[in-house]
Amino acid sequence: MLDFKDPSFIADPYPGLAKLRAVGKPVWHEELGLYLAAKHRDANDVLRNKSLGRIYRPRVPEDEWFDFNWLHSDSILDSEPPKHTRLRSLVAKAFNRNRIDALAPQIEILTCELLDHIATKKDFDVIADYAEPLPVKVIAALLNFPAEDEYLLRPWSQAIVKMYEVDPSPESQSAARRAATEFAAYVQDLMISRKKNPGTDLISELAIVEEAGEKLNTHELIATCILLLNAGHEASVNGFGNGIVAAFKEESQWNLLKSDPYAVSTTAIEEFLRFDAPLHFFDRTATEDTHIGGVEIKKGEKIVSLLGSANRDEEIFENPNVMNLQRDPNPHIGFGAGIHFCLGGPLARLEMNISLPALFARFPNMTLVGEATRRPTFSLRGYEKIPATIN
C-alpha cells in the first residue's frame, strides 16, 4: 500500500498511483482508515456525489485550535448545503466572473513589473521572483491589503495549508494554529475598518452583500477572505511551477512555449494543471451508505479523490504520462469538480494565461539551471525553488 510520507513517493508519486488505478476500483488504506479513489471515473464521482460531504471535524483540544477550527467550519470549502449554498451565493455576488475578468489589466501591469525586475538580473527564481508574488499581489489588491504587509500573506497561507497533508508534524501543527490566529485577527481589523470607511475592495463588498435577507457573519467573512487568498494563489503558484519544470524536461514542449507562447498558452495551462496537478488529495465523508466504483462506502467512512492520479488515467487521456501542451480536449479535474470546484480556479487560470506567455515572450531564451527544489508535501504539490536564467 502507498506510503504518502515516503520521500521517494512524494518526489514521483505517479508510478505508485498507476498501480493503484490498475486495481480498477477504490482501495481501502488501512493506515489512513479511508478509501482511495484513483481512477478518473471514481475520483470525479467522489467530488460530485451528493451522498459524500466535505465534513469538517474540529481538531482537539478545541481551545488550542479555536481559530483554526472556525476558519474551516465557517468556510465554503468545509461546509455542505444548505450552509454551503448560502455562503457560495453570497460570495458569488461579490466575487464573480465579471469581477475576476476586470482584474486582467491589473494582472498585466503586475506581470510587467515583475518581468522588468527579472530583466535587471541574469539569474532568477521562477517561484520567488514570478510565480509566487503575482497571485499574492493580485489577491492583496483585490482585498486592498496594505502593500507593506504583503510579505505576511504567503507564510500565513503556507502554514495553514500544511494541515491538509496526510500527517502534519507537531511543528507544522503549532505553526498552523499561530498563523490562523494571526491571520484571522489581521483580517478582522481590516473588516472593522472597512465597515466604518467602505471602499470598492472585496472586503468592503463582502461586508454589505446580501441575498434573500442573509448576510455573512463576522467569522464567515474572515474565513472567506482567507480562503480566497489560500485558494487564489496556491493553485496558481504550484500549477505554474510544476508545469514549467515538466515542460523544460520535454524539449519539444519547451520549444513550443518559446516559439509562439500566446498561441499555445490556453491549452498549455490546462496541461500544466493535468500533467502534475497542484492538488492531489481531497477527502469526503459518506453522509449515508453509497457506492463509488462498485465499492460500498458506509455512512461515516471517508474516501479520497486522488486528483493527480485521475489526471493520468489511461482510459481518459492518450499517452497520459507524456506532456502535450496542445492537448485538446483535456477533461482534467485539477481544480476539483462539483460544488467544491476550486473557488480560486478562474482567477488562477486568468493569471497563468497572462503570465505564462508574457514570460516567454519577454525572455525567449530563458532556461532552467541547476536543480529545482520540490516542496516535501504530497497533497499540495509544488516547488520551493526553480532556478533559471534569461541568458
H helices of 127-248, where? 133-143, 150-161, 170-196, 202-208, 218-248
Q: Which residue of the set 75, 79, 236, 309 is catalytic? A: 236
112 is catalytic: no
Query: Terminal CA-to-CA distance of the chain, rounded, Å?
Result: 45
In the chain, the amino acid numbered 137 is K
What pLDDT score was predicted for residue 56? 87
Residue (of 314, 292, 319) closest to 303 by Cα position: 292
Count of all residues that appear for the chain in the document: 391
Strands 27-29 and 383-385: unpaired
What pLDDT score was predicted for residue 223? 94
* Per-residue pLDDT tens listing for the chain (391 residues): 889 989 999 999 999 999 999 999 999 999 999 999 999 999 999 999 999 999 888 999 999 999 999 999 999 989 999 999 999 898 888 888 888 999 999 999 999 999 999 999 989 999 999 999 999 999 889 899 888 998 899 899 999 999 988 889 999 999 999 999 999 999 999 999 998 999 999 999 998 887 667 889 999 999 999 988 887 788 899 999 999 999 999 999 999 999 999 999 999 999 999 999 999 999 999 999 999 999 999 999 999 999 999 999 999 999 999 999 999 999 999 999 999 988 888 999 999 999 999 999 999 999 999 999 999 999 999 999 999 999 8
Give the CA distances from residue 206 to residues 4, 71, 74, 90, in Å, rounded to whole numbers and listed in that order.
38, 16, 14, 8
What pLDDT score was predicted for residue 297? 98
Which tens digits make up the pLDDT trace of 346-381? 999 999 999 999 999 999 999 999 999 999 999 999
- CA dist 200 and 235 (Å) reads 26
In the chain, the amino acid numbered 44 is N
With left for phi above 0 and alpha for psi between -120 and 50, is residue 300 left, alpha or beta? left
What pLDDT score was predicted for residue 343? 82
- CA dist 108 and 286 (Å) reads 43
Helix or strand run (H / E) with residue 261 = helix 261-275
What pLDDT score was predicted for residue 212? 66
Rounded to a whole number of angstroms, the CA Rg of the chain reads: 21
> Which residues have a Cβ under 8 Å from the Cβ of 331 and sit 6 or more positions away?
40, 316
- CA dist 246 and 200 (Å) reads 39
Angle, vertex CA 2, rays to CA 166 and CA 57, nearest 5: 25
Which tens digits make up the pLDDT trace of 34-61? 999 999 999 999 999 999 999 888 999 9
User: Which DSSP string corresponds to 298-352?
Assistant: -TT-EEEEEHHHHTT-TTTSSSTTS--TT--S----TT--GGGS-TTHHHHHHHH
Full set of structural domains in the chain with CATH: 7-389 (1.10.630.10)
* Strand order from edge to edge, sheet including 27-29: 27-29, 34-37, 302-306, 281-286, 52-53
Which tens digits make up the pLDDT trace of 316-353? 999 999 999 999 999 999 999 999 988 888 999 999 99
Helix or strand run (H / E) with residue 42 = helix 40-48
What's the grid cell of residue 152? 505576511
Report the predicted TM-score, pTM, of the whole model to 2 decimal places: 0.94
Residue (of 225, 231, 230, 256) closest to 243 by Cα position: 256
Q: Which residue of the set 231, 286, 310, 358 is catalytic? A: 231
- CA dist 296 and 134 (Å) reads 44
Neighbours of 226 (CB within 10 A): 24
What pLDDT score was predicted for residue 160? 94
What pLDDT score was predicted for residue 12? 96
> In 83-172, which ranges are E strands?
123-125
Neighbours of 376 (CB within 10 A): 11
What pLDDT score was predicted for residue 244? 98
- CA dist 29 and 3 (Å) reads 10
SS3 212: coil
225 is catalytic: no
Helix or strand run (H / E) with residue 359 = helix 345-362
Q: Which residue of the set 234, 265, 268, 271 is catalytic? A: 234
351 is catalytic: yes
231 is catalytic: yes
Q: Which residue of the set 351, 358, 372, 388 is catalytic? A: 351
Angle, vertex CA 300, rays to CA 295 and CA 306, nearest 5: 55
Q: How many helices (H) and strands (E) does the chain have?
A: 17, 12
| Half-sphere exposure in the Cβ direction for 104 (13 Å, CA) | 9
- CA dist 190 and 310 (Å) reads 40
Q: Which residue of the set 131, 286, 342, 358 is catalytic? A: 342
171 is catalytic: no
